[in-house]
Amino acid sequence: MIYVIDTNSLNVLRNFYPETFPSFWEQFDGLVADGGLISVEEVLKEVRQLVDAPHVTDWADQHSEMFEPPTEEEMEHVAEIFSVRHFQQLISKDKLLRGGHVADPWLIARARAIGGCVVTEEKLKPNAAKIPNVCQHFGVGCRSMQGLLSDQGWRY
């Protein structure tokens, strides 16, 4: 399984200090090195802007190659996501007006294109335009960081 990680799941790692959890970071780096954990360039931009844990932002910068730009297929998937009027709410009016970064549709499109699974801390909510709802609509897997850790069998 290839996991496509969201900003909010990377932010969970703010409490996984490298000095305290070195074996976690070794396994996490290994997952990246094996191609099992990827993301999109918008997430890297969000991490730099929104995450205030230096060890997480430094880690993201050191692994910048995993945050790739969208492919043509992914752009088509984003257009398909936004063709569902309700899912246009993935981009808040505030972000539209201020030009903020929007990773959500790109994460879903990447996971859909590769048959992967989105890792996000958002929860499935009835009638919402959240990542899990969009994933469910398009048949894309969706897990939390805890789900990824469980899938990998990692225990600390």
* Domains of the chain by start residue, with CATH: 3-152 (3.40.50.1010)
Helix (H, G, I), strand (E, B) or coil at 67: strand
Single out the residue of 86, 143, 81, 90 nearest to residue 112, CA to CA.
81
Per-residue pLDDT at 100: 63
With a cut of 60, say whether residue 33 has pLDDT above it.
yes
The burial of 153, by beta-carbon neighbours within 10 Å (0-12 exposed, 13-18 middle, 19 or more buried), is given as: exposed
Give per-residue pLDDT as tens, 49-98: 999 999 999 999 999 999 999 999 999 999 999 999 888 887 755 554 45
SS3 (DSSP) at 117: strand
The sign of the dihedral angle between the CA atoms of 66, 67, 68, 73 is: positive
- The widest CA-to-CA distance across the chain, in whole angstroms, is 46
This prediction's pTM: 0.94
Q: For residue 45, how many other CB atoms are within 10 A of its CB?
A: 16
Q: What is the pLDDT of residue 137?
A: 96
Give residue 9's pLDDT: 98
Other C-beta atoms within 10 Å of 31: how many?
19
Instruction: Return the pLDDT at 94.
Output: 55
Task: Give 88-135 pLDDT, tens digit per residue.
Answer: 887 755 554 456 678 999 999 999 999 999 999 999 999 899 999 999
